[in-house]
A and B are shown apart, each in its own frame.
Chain A
Amino acid sequence: MKAEPLLHATGHFLPKDLSDHQVSRQVFGPLQQFPRRVAWRWMFGVGLVLLLVYLGSVAVLLGNGVGMWGNNQPVHWGFGILNYIWWLGIGHAGTFISALLLLIERPWRHTLNRLAELMTLMAVICAALYPILHLGRPWLFYWTMPYPNEMGLWPQFKSPTAWDMFAILSYLTVSVLFLMVGAIPDFATARDRASTPLRQAVYGLLALGWRGSQRHWALWRRTTRVLAILAIPLVFAVSSGYSFLLTMGTQSGWHSTLFPAYFVAGAVALVALLAIVVRWLLCIQSLITPRHLDMLGRLLLATGWMTTYGYLADLFMPFYSGDAHEIEVLLARISGAHAWSFWLAIVCNVGVLQALWWRNVRQSPPRLALVALAVLMGMCAERFMLLIPPQMRDLLVSSWGDYTPSLWDWTLFIGSFGVFLVPYSLFLRYVPMVSVFEVKQALHQERGDG
């Protein structure tokens, strides 16, 4: 038998006697001496290749126009909007885990929040690029913003598309604030442990001169609580924002009031996946323990059931409404040309997910990673199923049509992982990936000496 698995019956899931210095060393060590350099280089390299694919696809797109995509009459919104909604959904999980668990004071949150918040930031950036690229004339995207211009013309504030612009900018702002304010004390630690003057200067600037004063701590604690309280409704405002984008139209099958909740639920998958990757890459298995993974697995299962409820409600509603076209659209979803997307979503988000009832799946990194990957794919299929088939079945039969994503749709989507991976792998090298001071506090509180 190997040594006792890393399961600790503590609130923070960490060994009770872990010392402050050990925690600092584990998290800040990788900033100076990265443990798995080869694996990191692979990750960064793959990210770079994908980023190049992305840039190439963007160049082709900007050079020729959105006609390079598979969109056409009647499917005006294809992969562009689909990926936008997918990436935003991914982003919500980070905010949600970080802010909600902070407010309900789960001490095990502290090893997960930083990586989740960084994920949110990158996911929101990946998402935010889509609506711009999706425009017919992307260079004029700033026309959706209120700015003084000689024509005296403002954005049209009754349009959900304009709301989206505000939603993304707000989400980006609040995510950055939440992340940066939350990381100030860790940047201070990084500054004090820095090995080179350059690092000391950069971390010092990021730490804003933080010196751990008790007065500052009190203000800091209040501020993070306030930001968390703001972040949670913001997540739902953002997801409602882009649900309105669908709902405000006349398209049948887009009017579900469940969409905002739908898009938030099930996004935990990427957090679970990243937690597994990060703990392995940084060798911090003793900080992100199997019990953390277990919790993420449970969260994934619970939110998965919320999504399942959404599917069931969406199956029921058209028949309850009795609206012939709603039923038509529903049948197109489950048995039409793109019925694979519906069934793939069901298999991944409902079927595979049930494996999480077993503890040895939740606590085993490779198995949990597989389930998380399946859910990510299922979420993508779900967005496809929600977005595309209704457009193919228009209200007038004469406008019915088909949709096939083109090569450039795929390259842009696959490439967007590069937009995510490249900065994220740099974060792994240069940002403390665990909220060290909060872990220390949790450790002291558990021991009763803090």
Chain B
Amino acid sequence: MAECLGLLARFPAPQPLVDAAVCAWGLGYRRLDAFAPFAPEALEPVLAVDARRVGRMACLGAGLGIVLALVMQIGSVWAYPLNIGGRPLVALPSFAVVTFLFAVVFAAIAAVLTLLLCSRLPRLHHPLFGVEGFEAASDDGFFLFIDARDPLFDAHQTHAWLAERAQSVQEVAP
């Protein structure tokens, strides 16, 4: 039993999963995760991490893009000043397009990187993939996972509690 990483309970539909997750949260379980082919939004306040950081990182990325674009463009005319059609060397209206594009691209890359870093992806394998039937999590299976490291976790009681509600409960081997 010491080898067990946690318990994975399968539900037939999103609603029972949401009910069980909210209930478990209410009981004091904190190391919970749900797996579903899509994200039932009702779960977001209970389980989800603070996703607003994606937006914040995107803003930071946009800022970085603006600074980089301006440094690049102003730097280029500063390092190699050329008279182009009698226009001022630092012509900000002309630099606006590339600056905007840099802001957008860097924001997009920052958002995607945040997604990958915060969700610890990509990874080649995960113990959950070893659980029989878990592939349904991408089709029509709804799963609730309670981590063995949760202070309230008790192999028997948690198992029984889950079994009352779920279709099936399985142990996750590392």
- Which of A155, A204, A215, A244 has its CB near the most chain B CB atoms (within 10 A)? A215
Cβ contact of B108, chosen from A177, A217, A240, A449, cutoff 8 A: A177
State whether A437 touches B48 (Cβ < 8 A): no
Could you say which of A177, A192, A221, A227 contacts B51, with CB atoms under 8 Å apart? A221
In the complex, chain B residues whose CB is within 8 Å of the CB of A167: 97, 101
Say yes or no for A223: interface residue by CB 8 A criterion. Answer: yes
Q: How far is the CB of B29 from chain A (nearest CB, A)?
A: 14
What residue of chain B has the Cβ atom nearest to residue A189's Cβ? B138
Question: By DSSP majority rule, is chain B's interface helix, strand, loop, or mixed?
Answer: helix
The total of chain A residues at the interface (CB under 8 A) is: 65
Residues B14 and A192 in contact, CB atoms below 8 Å apart: no
Chain A's interface: helix, strand, loop or mixed, by majority? helix
B137 near A: Cβ within 8 Å?
Answer: yes
Whether B58 sits at the interface, judged by CB under 8 Å, is yes
A438 to chain B: closest residue by CB: B38
**B91–A158 touching, CB < 8 Å:** yes
Complex contacts, A444 vs chain B, CB 8 Å = 14, 38, 40
| Contacting pair A173 B115 (CB below 8 A) | no
Q: Which residues of B contact A208 (CB under 8 A)?
A: 116, 121-123
Q: Of B72, B79, B114, B124, which is within 8 A of A219 by CB?
A: B114
* A237 touching B104, Cβ below 8 Å: yes
| A174 in the interface (beta carbon within 8 A) | yes
Binary CB contact string for chain A from 20 to 61 against chain B (1 if under 8 A, 0 otherwise): 110010000000000000000000000000000000000000
> Of residues A19, A155, A214, A218, which shows the largest number of chain B Cβ atoms within 10 Å of its Cβ?
A214
Give every chain B residue within 8 A of A215 (Cβ-Cβ).
33, 47-49, 119
Task: Return the contact of A173 from the options B98, B109, B118, B139 (Cβ within 8 A).
Answer: B109
Beta-carbon contact of A209 and B104 below 8 Å: no
Q: Is B3 located at the chain interface by the 8 A CB criterion?
A: no
Partner of B98, one of A162, A217, A440, A450: A162
Q: Which residue of B lies closest to A173 (CB)?
A: B105
Q: Which of A221-264 contact B (CB under 8 A)?
A: 221-223, 226-227, 230, 233-234, 237, 240-241, 244
Q: Are A223 and B140 neighbours in the complex by a CB distance under 8 Å?
A: no
Judging by beta carbons under 8 Å apart, are B126 and A181 in contact? Answer: no
A226-B97 contact given A158-B87, A192-B138, A219-B51, CB 8 Å threshold: no
With A and B bound together, what is the CA distance between A426 and B121 in angstroms?
Answer: 27
A210→B35 CA distance, assembly (Å): 10
List, in ascending order, chain B residues with CB within 8 A of A19's CB: 140
B161 at the interface (CB under 8 A from A): no
Contact partners of A157 in chain B: CB under 8 A: 72-73, 76-77, 94-95, 98
- B97–A440 contact, CB under 8 A? no
Interface contact A189-B139, CB-CB below 8 Å: yes
Would you call B138 and A214 a contact (CB within 8 A)?
Answer: no
Shortest B147–chain A CB gap in Å is: 12
- Asked if A220 and B115 make an inter-chain contact with CB atoms under 8 angstroms apart, the answer reads yes
Q: Are B108 and A230 in contact (CB under 8 A)?
A: yes
Decide if A153 is an interface residue (CB 8 Å cutoff).
yes
Q: Are the CB atoms of B97 and A241 closer together than 8 Å?
A: yes
Q: Which residues of A contact B (CB under 8 A)?
A: 19-21, 24, 146, 152-158, 160, 162-163, 166-167, 169-170, 173-174, 177-178, 181, 185, 188-189, 191-193, 204-205, 208-223, 226-227, 230, 233-234, 237, 240-241, 244, 436-438, 440-441, 444, 449-450
Which 5 A-B residue pairings sit nearest by Cβ, starting from the closest? A217-B39, A218-B48, A154-B76, A208-B122, A192-B135
A-B contact pairs, 22 of them (CB 8 A): A156-B82, A158-B91, A166-B102, A191-B138, A208-B122, A212-B137, A214-B36, A216-B119, A218-B51, A220-B39, A222-B111, A223-B54, A223-B114, A226-B55, A230-B108, A230-B111, A240-B97, A436-B37, A441-B38, A450-B15, A450-B40, A450-B42
Residues on B facing A (Cβ under 8 Å) = 13-15, 33-44, 47-49, 51-52, 54-55, 58, 72-73, 76-77, 79-80, 82, 84-85, 87, 91, 94-95, 97-98, 100-102, 104-105, 107-109, 111-112, 114-116, 118-119, 121-126, 128-129, 134-140
